[in-house]
């Protein structure tokens, strides 16, 4: 009995204690942003401000990440417009067109809609995915309905200068999406439109004319290149060169060997022939140093060879390229008493990889 009474008394005291404490607990002040149902919402304002600040400084590549972050939590369509402007500045036409279209669809009467429409039409013509509208957003007319009816025919997306529709091959959504992904991959490949490191092997076949005699030579080696953008690259190469005074037929036969180390440093300018730079023309310059030793007598000659290059590159897939160039230049023999000169001509073949 005593044990039961003790437990009842303890429960009673606990109940009294809780009753006396709860008013104070309920009276404790709470912040408006606290509580089990409160969730902080990121509206993307910070990321948007950072993105626009970077864009103003011309740092669009860095700004894109912040635009993406802001658009995860914001429905402000001016962010799509501004991100599109950055994509256009960086030479990314397809994502720029996506952003411009989204902006014009949601805000067709925006003050800058005519300018954005003009940018969109220019990119569509450039990429072959559309054409200018006869009636931009700021110039709607009663002709919109019959004019748009013509779009049911997928061969009539463009217009001429007088507003009449002209026939061209309009891409379907799937075709345009495929083109978008191809462009994305091309823009990421250093061999096509992007930047980055390129590795490869090469072989040169040349003739050196000196004193009325032409001496053939063969050079093989490795090359490392860095593409800064879709146009410009710098590269270095290291190899072994072998001169054949007796002609190409003497290659691999017994007799004195005239060969040695070859080091080169060059610049390359690329001019693409198609949208994804599958085919490109090459223009470049190379300065090469050769240290050639005669195997039997041990005599050594130091040669400096400045040369110009013109060629062609074919890129297969994402990162494999085949490059062929024609070379012409001058061979300078470096000697204390002055240098002899000769003319070189020939060609190079290179196999290149990027990752």
Q: Where exactly are the structural domains of the chain?
A: 75-187, 195-353
Residue 250 pLDDT: 55
Least confident piece of the model among 122-131, 135-144, 312-321: 135-144
Residue 36 pLDDT greater than 90, yes or no: no
Position with higher pLDDT, 15 vs 328 = 328
What is the rounded average pLDDT of the residues 254-279? 90
Q: Indicate the pairing of strand 232-243 with strand 213-227.
A: antiparallel
| Contact yes or no for 282/325 (Cβ under 8 A) | yes
pLDDT band at 305 (very low <50, low <70, confident <90, very high): very high
Work out the angle at residue 143's Cα, subtended by the Cα atoms of residues 140 and 148, and round it to the nearest 5 degrees.
95
Of 212, 295, 310, nearest to 256 (Cα)? 295
Of 86, 84, 80, nearest to 63 (Cα)? 86
Side-chain-side CA neighbours of 112 within 13 Å: the count stands at: 10
- In terms of Cβ atoms closer than 10 Å to its own Cβ (0-12, 13-18, 19+), residue 76 is middle
| Contact yes or no for 117/104 (Cβ under 8 A) | yes
Of 348, 351, 353, nearest to 203 (Cα)? 348
Residue 328 pLDDT: 95
Position with higher pLDDT, 140 vs 123 = 123
Residue 227 pLDDT: 96
Q: What percent of the chain has pLDDT over 90?
A: 48
What is the rounded average pLDDT of the residues 84-100? 92
Q: What percent of the chain has pLDDT over 70?
A: 70
Least confident piece of the model among 19-28, 36-45, 231-240, 275-284: 19-28
Best CATH choice for the domain 195-353 from the list 2.40.110.10, 3.40.630.10, 3.40.190.10, 2.40.128.100: 2.40.128.100
| Contact yes or no for 289/304 (Cβ under 8 A) | yes
Residue 174 pLDDT: 65
Residue 304 pLDDT: 93
Residue 14 pLDDT: 42
Least confident piece of the model among 15-19, 125-129, 198-202, 344-348: 15-19
Residue 73 pLDDT: 85
Span 175-205, pLDDT tens digits: 666 777 788 888 899 999 999 999 999 999 9
Q: Model's pTM, two decimal places?
A: 0.53
Torsion angles phi and psi, residue 27, rounded to 5 = -80, -10
What is the rounded average pLDDT of the residues 248-256? 58
Query: Would you give the distance in Å from CA 103 to the centre of its chain?
Result: 25
């Amino acid at each position: 009995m005593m044990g039961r009474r003790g437990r009842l008394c303890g429960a009673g005291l606990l109940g009294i204690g809780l009753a006396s404490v709860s008013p104070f607990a309920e009276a404790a002040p709470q912040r408006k942003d606290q509580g089990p149902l409160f969730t902080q919402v990121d509206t993307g304002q910070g990321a948007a401000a950072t993105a626009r600040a970077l864009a103003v400084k011309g740092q669009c590549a860095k700004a894109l990440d912040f635009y993406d972050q802001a658009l995860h939590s914001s429905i402000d369509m001016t962010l799509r417009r501004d991100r599109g402007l950055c994509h256009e500045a960086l030479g990314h036409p397809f994502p720029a067109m996506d952003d411009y279209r989204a902006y014009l669809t949601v805000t067709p009467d925006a003050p800058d809609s005519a300018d954005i429409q003009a940018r969109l039409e220019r990119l569509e013509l450039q990429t072959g995915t559309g054409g200018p509208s006869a009636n931009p957003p700021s110039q709607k007319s009663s002709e919109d309905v019959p004019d748009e009816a013509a779009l049911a025919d997928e061969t009539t997306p463009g217009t001429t200068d007088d507003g009449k529709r002209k026939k061209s091959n309009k891409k379907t959504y799937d075709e345009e999406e495929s083109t978008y992904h191809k462009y994305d991959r091309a823009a990421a490949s250093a061999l096509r439109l992007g930047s980055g490191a390129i590795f490869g092997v090469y072989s040169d076949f040349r003739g050196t004319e000196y004193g009325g005699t032409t001496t053939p030579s063969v050079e093989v080696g490795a090359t490392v290149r860095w593409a800064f953008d879709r146009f410009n690259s710098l590269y270095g190469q290291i190899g072994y060169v072998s001169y054949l005074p007796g002609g190409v037929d003497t290659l691999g036969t017994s007799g004195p060997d005239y060969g040695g180390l070859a080091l080169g440093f060059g610049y390359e300018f690329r001019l693409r022939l198609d949208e994804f730079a599958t085919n490109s023309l090459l223009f470049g310059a190379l300065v090469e140093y050769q240290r050639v030793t005669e195997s039997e007598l041990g005599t050594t000659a130091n040669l400096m060879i400045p040369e110009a290059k013109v060629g062609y590159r074919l890129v297969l897939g994402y990162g494999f390229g085949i490059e062929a160039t024609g070379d012409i230049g001058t061979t300078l023999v470096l000697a204390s008493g002055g240098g002899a000169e000769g003319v070189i001509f020939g060609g190079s073949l290179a196999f290149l990889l990027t990752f």
